[in-house]
Structure 1
């Protein structure tokens, strides 16, 4: 413990350095980058500041843009499903920008700031400056196009949906993707939580998305089974 305190006492020397939080942690704690994760309040208190001066690592967001512009944005939970959707040409995806950020990272509120998000645009879609600027304007709060989420039909997926609604008000579960998954679940398909080592997932009381709360969550409770996104193509 005394060694940890000694390391924390070195924090003021880094106060004005342009470092990310994990870089600070690595420098202080013998190369361990995650020691200060979720401890921004402690850092701020030790430095006698209102807020932690060291930002978290930017969220890396992969984006596919339709060549003719987008009418909405679909966040996809799993990388394989994102890649399939990007290449599918399905009419269900027509006019949708597709976005992928690993797991719960898509719900991070810093993703809606230019400093908190690194964008990587796919060469499979439109890649003009106007298209990129249009997406950035939407992401950073100036666009009005609706947002959707499509992921695994399990409690973790429902929690990602609920968390993303805090960053993207009005975001809803994407019905063209979830409808066949819901039908499969009601027909007795899917798997038990234990079969996929998901038994630790806790049920979600509500997500505030009507479709999820009225259709998806009740089916999860009634069947006690989950369906993975990768089984389906939009």
Structure 2
């Protein structure tokens, strides 16, 4: 382990205990993925609140850790090869923590491949499309007179939900046991409520997904991780 003082982000969000993993995040669907995973694995960590305001995510200190100015990001002082590891992108963080701990990434090579498949489905489909749905349904885009963009993302959300609903038939979790794929998917499915879009996408017509999300949020680690770091 090396001293974290070499990381510029320490100048703004200093570690109280530089021997544990440092999480820089905000409780959005992407942000809580990392916090929930840390709670599930039991790894010791510190959480630092990085708001979505430009003064935080576009600060030189945060950009030194993630040039894409998005949360979450981590520094693991106990990284591979005896050196600290800085990492951004929520999906990459989930895979890294799963491999580091040997947890939540499948019991076989085949399961691992399918867990990563569904993680990529969230990263490339559910996350971006639901995010656009939120913009056009709840935020600034909802005020646009032209409703074609809103209709596009409502319809795409419906399509993605149909894929998941069918895939969850007769299952408790998306691939075998609980995994990082579930940790990636469920916060985004729950975001439909935050966007006020459940009725628009026919959420109640997806009983497998309704039960899936309820099962996910019943987990103690999820209940704790969904509010880390606490909103100001």
Q: TM-score range by the shorter chain?
A: under 0.3
Q: TM-score, normalised on structure 2?
A: 0.23
Q: Which has the higher contact order (CA 8 A, sep 6+)?
A: 2
Q: Which has the larger radius of gyration?
A: 1
